[in-house]
Structure 1
């Protein structure tokens, strides 16, 4: 299993993206039996390096089995990737990785999958400094552009204003939008943006990043916490507050998921201490439903 730490240790985002995507496909195939009734004359198992345009995405979404079709090619789609680059994404997990590091790896792997499938893929980086936008393209030069933008991005400040983000929803275009965010917001600004994207693009996959040490509250004894966006601090005894914290966290996660699904978003919680496989699988499922 390729952990986020191992991928990050490569210090090479294009290589990490390729290994994450192809390792996931190959590993998922190898871990499952072939099942009965399949017409093997029309399929062969996926092998790293195969053209992903020939992958049977519908079969993958139904069963997590990865096979190459010998004839058909799926219809290409437009995939728009969104990265929340506000300062809260600098939160560091016990494995040493920031949420931003995990998000870079994840979005690079998703871009690799989409581009190899023949999709037009674009990237928007959302930060208070302004909207960094790469329009969706399907040419071979797009992946290096996306990798460079991800590698050079730093998380700063608060989530950008509605005015800054207006170009994202300026026109209707059917697409699969994939947003990676920790969903820390001051006044519903992320929620409103995703609602508008749902109305203009039609399909939004929301990948909610939560660090492992946030989920299990691994801190001990007296601790000072600082809000990465406002600078405010709070001091507490972690051992005394653990139960209350975990109850409040679970309530927030439950409410967040319910609100997202009421908006028609495809919501998934991701633990940054775990491999990228869950997110890649959800991307394939959503893509198949649009194909």
Structure 2
């Protein structure tokens, strides 16, 4: 599995998404229903009214009996991808990637996976200036549209307010919603949006991005920390504060995961220095459930 920095170094999101996703296509979900599909499953005896095109004529010639070939049918669904484009997603890790860079790669790979399984894929980029929304589609031109929107997305300001987000939950539409965010919020606005989406759309997969230098706090000596959304700064001695910081971070991550699962979300923590395979597996697992 290529590292995120190598994928990013390609400077080509369509190619990077394909490289990241292709190893997972063999794990595409097939339903338990049987019918006309891609993978052979079993034979069953012919019954009046069955489609004669599915008869195995070679087997009939050998056995003088008529059997139909049954295959497992891929079940398609609607996948709605959400990207948090608030300013905190500009946080940069030691590998040079921002959370936004990682989010672009991840959602590009997920879009590639979903479309190659026949799913209708849509994307909404969440920013305070408004929603950039591409409705779910399954045609061949959808991936280039999604890639262009991801490549041109900027992270600015704070997470959108309820009025800006209202169109997302105005209509009921069954979908698997995949949200990529660092979950930095002022008053539970991300959580509120996901609760509403679960109520009107169904399943929610929450992919929580945390940078490696946030998780391990591998700064040294006197450092100045700046809030990317408010501009506030804090001067600390990193060596003295490391233990307290990591204890508080782990407590927050534990509380966040527990709260998400209590509300019915599938929650997955992602280190932005790690390959994308964990998130891709989680997506395929959720898609198959």
**Global fold match (TM > 0.5):** yes
CA distance in 1 between partners of 2:240 and 2:111 (Å): 43
Q: Secondary structure at 2:203's aligned position in 1?
A: strand
User: Alignment partner for residue 39 of structure 2, among 41, 49, 69?
Assistant: 69
CA distance in 1 between partners of 2:275 and 2:186 (Å): 29
What is the match of residue 127 of structure 1? Answer: 127
TM-superposed CA distance for 1:69, in Å, is 2.1
Q: Secondary structure at 1:117's aligned position in 2?
A: coil
Kindly indicate whether the alpha-carbon contact (under 8 Å) linking 2:31 and 2:73 is maintained by their aligned counterparts in 1: no
What is the match of residue 269 of structure 2? Answer: 269
When residues 3 and 199 of structure 1 are mapped into structure 2, their CA distance, relative to the original with a 3 A threshold, is same
Kindly indicate whether the alpha-carbon contact (under 8 Å) linking 2:30 and 2:72 is maintained by their aligned counterparts in 1: no
Task: Describe the superposition over 1:235-258 as per-residue Cα deviations: whole angstroms up to 9, x where unpaired.
Answer: 000000000000000000001111
TM-superposed CA distance for 1:57, in Å, is 4.3
TM-superposed CA distance for 1:174, in Å, is 1.0
CA distance in 2 between partners of 1:69 and 1:226 (Å): 54
When residues 58 and 7 of structure 1 are mapped into structure 2, their CA distance, relative to the original with a 3 A threshold, is farther
CA distance in 2 between partners of 1:239 and 1:160 (Å): 35
CA distance in 1 between partners of 2:271 and 2:232 (Å): 25
CA distance in 1 between partners of 2:257 and 2:215 (Å): 15
Q: Superposition pairs for residues 55-66 of structure 1, below 5 Å? A: 55-57=28-30
Kindly indicate whether the alpha-carbon contact (under 8 Å) linking 2:86 and 2:155 is maintained by their aligned counterparts in 1: yes
User: How many residues are treated as equivalent by the alignment?
Assistant: 254
What is the match of residue 226 of structure 2? Answer: 226
What is the match of residue 184 of structure 2? Answer: 184
Q: Secondary structure at 1:284's aligned position in 2?
A: helix
CA distance in 2 between partners of 1:187 and 1:57 (Å): 40
Question: 5+ residue gaps in structure 1?
Answer: 26-45, 47-51, 60-67
CA distance in 1 between partners of 2:266 and 2:127 (Å): 23
CA distance in 2 between partners of 1:273 and 1:75 (Å): 33
Task: Describe the superposition over 1:72-96 as per-residue Cα deviations: whole angstroms up to 9, x where unpaired.
Answer: 3312100000000000000000100
CA distance in 2 between partners of 1:56 and 1:190 (Å): 29
Q: CA RMSD in A?
A: 1.4
What is the match of residue 31 of structure 1? Answer: none
Question: 5+ residue gaps in structure 2?
Answer: 33-37, 41-70
Q: Secondary structure at 1:92's aligned position in 2?
A: coil
What is the match of residue 248 of structure 1? Answer: 248
Kindly indicate whether the alpha-carbon contact (under 8 Å) linking 1:118 and 1:138 is maintained by their aligned counterparts in 2: yes
Q: Secondary structure at 1:126's aligned position in 2?
A: strand
Kindly indicate whether the alpha-carbon contact (under 8 Å) linking 1:56 and 1:69 is maintained by their aligned counterparts in 2: no
TM-superposed CA distance for 1:7, in Å, is 0.3
What is the match of residue 115 of structure 1? Answer: 115
What is the match of residue 160 of structure 2? Answer: 160
| Corresponding position: 1:142 with 2:142 | yes
CA distance in 2 between partners of 1:2 and 1:227 (Å): 31
Kindly indicate whether the alpha-carbon contact (under 8 Å) linking 1:57 and 1:284 is maintained by their aligned counterparts in 2: no
What is the match of residue 13 of structure 1? Answer: 13
Kindly indicate whether the alpha-carbon contact (under 8 Å) linking 2:224 and 2:235 is maintained by their aligned counterparts in 1: yes
What is the match of residue 98 of structure 1? Answer: 98
